[in-house]
Amino acid sequence: MNVLEIKNLYKKFGAQEVLTGLELNVPEHAVYGFIGQNGAGKTTTMKMILGLLPKDSGTINVCGETVNYGQTRTNRYIGYLPDVPEFYNFMNTTEYLRLCGDITGMDKRGITVKSDELLELVGLQDVKKKRIGGFSRGMKQRLGIAQALLNEPKLLICDEPTSALDPVGRKEILDILQAVKDKTTVLFSTHILSDVERICDQIAILNNGKIAQQGTLAEIKEKHVVDCLKIEFHTEAEREAFRRLFEDEKVRQAECPDARTILLHSTQIADTQLKVLEMLYKRQLMPAVLELEEPTLESLFLEVVG
């Protein structure tokens, strides 16, 4: 069953079209990576799922129920972690979780038990009596996950949960998200691709207001076998000489990391390899490094949005 289904979703802000017919299906118990550049419409989409923004047209279903703007009943299935979660600074962790529990209609005992369990999970057990005002960003993010998971949601929506954190904080958040995947479905927006590769089962790449690619990481990589051949020369002059002479319509030259290197993307990498070797031999050029690189999510992403 799909926890989240979005059909033909449109959204405009003034003259700017943000979403143009977005379709998205998120199956149960997946960690779903929602990838796109800054400003691609990730946050807009998430806010519409939560009923915080009105949609222009299209339908959003959460656990089979339709989402309405403003007051939406579907939010009882959802836990939400905003990109920069804000809490009441004058409260301590326990008090805040109690407030959240009361609002979702949990009983007193349930709140206490669940709060302790979640604070343990996110590693805030030691500071549960401290005021939130003194928390670091990473701690707030972890508290954000705890409050989002309090009512055992079927769908956990995280809006760029790791973007503002240092490497240690990022690792902690990713570990937590990994750990909760048995209990809930995680929809997780980001533009940090290494995070996606670490924890996501499935991904969707948002581009120009539509989902450009959707599926498991392996599937998408397979569909877009864009292998990459890296050729590094000893001098810039050699590289320039090679660049001028080499032509192949199946090959796309990617941006080079430095002045002595060329990256070639190709769908038929074996052919390209032969051609390159042949030409290197003909011109008597000796590369320092000739290397076949695995397709990465980054190359895939750049190809999709490029």
Closer CB to other proteins, 115 or 202, in the complex: 115
Name the nearest CA neighbour of 182 among 215, 204, 158, 149: 149
Q: How far is the CB of 53 from other proteins (least distance, A)?
A: 6
* Residue 53 sits in the site that holds other proteins (CB under 8 A): yes
Residue 208-247 contact track with other proteins, rule CB under 8 A, x = bound: ----------------------------------------
* Residue 80 sits in the site that holds other proteins (CB under 8 A): yes
Contact 23, 211 (CB under 8 A): yes
Q: How far is the CB of 177 from other proteins (least distance, A)?
A: 18
Which residues lie across from 22 on neighbouring strands?
9
**Could you give the CA distance from residue 23 to residue 25 in angstroms, rounded to a whole number?**
7
What tokens appear for 17 in the block? 């079209």
Q: How far is the CB of 145 from other proteins (least distance, A)?
A: 12
Closer CB to other proteins, 35 or 48, in the complex: 48
DSSP 209: T
* Residue 152 sits in the site that holds other proteins (CB under 8 A): no
* Residue 103 sits in the site that holds other proteins (CB under 8 A): yes
Distance of CA 82 to the CA centre of its chain: 14
Helix (H/G/I), strand (E/B), else coil: 278:
helix
What tokens appear for 24 in the block? 């998205």
Interior CA angle at 181 toward 177 and 182, to 5°?
Answer: 145
Residues in binding contact with other proteins, number by CB under 8 A: 28
Interior CA angle at 193 toward 141 and 4, to 5°?
Answer: 70
Q: Applying CB under 8 A, which of residues 5, 17, 95, 175 lies at the interface with other proteins?
A: 95
**Could you give the CA distance from residue 261 to residue 128 in angstroms, rounded to a whole number?**
53
Q: How far is the CB of 171 from other proteins (least distance, A)?
A: 24
User: How do 31-35 and 202-207 pair as beta strands?
Assistant: parallel
* Residue 71 sits in the site that holds other proteins (CB under 8 A): yes
Q: Helix H segments across 3-153?
A: 42-49, 93-104, 108-122, 137-149
* Residue 100 sits in the site that holds other proteins (CB under 8 A): yes
* Residue 185 sits in the site that holds other proteins (CB under 8 A): no
* Residue 272 sits in the site that holds other proteins (CB under 8 A): no
* Residue 279 sits in the site that holds other proteins (CB under 8 A): no
Q: Applying CB under 8 A, which of residues 29, 73, 223, 234 lies at the interface with other proteins?
A: 73
Q: Which residues contact 251 (CB under 8 A, 6 or more apart)?
A: 264, 265, 266, 272
Q: Applying CB under 8 A, which of residues 34, 87, 246, 301 lies at the interface with other proteins?
A: 87
* Residue 105 sits in the site that holds other proteins (CB under 8 A): yes
Q: How far is the CB of 71 from other proteins (least distance, A)?
A: 7
Piece of 68-76, 181-189, 196-204, 262-270 that binds other proteins (CB under 8 A): 68-76
**Could you give the CA distance from residue 292 to residue 306 in angstroms, rounded to a whole number?**
22
Between helix 269-282 and helix 236-245 the angle, nearest 10°, is 120
* Residue 164 sits in the site that holds other proteins (CB under 8 A): no
Q: How far is the CB of 39 from other proteins (least distance, A)?
A: 18
Q: Which residues bind other proteins (CB under 8 A)?
A: 50, 52-53, 70-71, 73, 75-76, 78, 80, 82, 84-88, 90-91, 95, 99-100, 102-105, 144, 147, 151
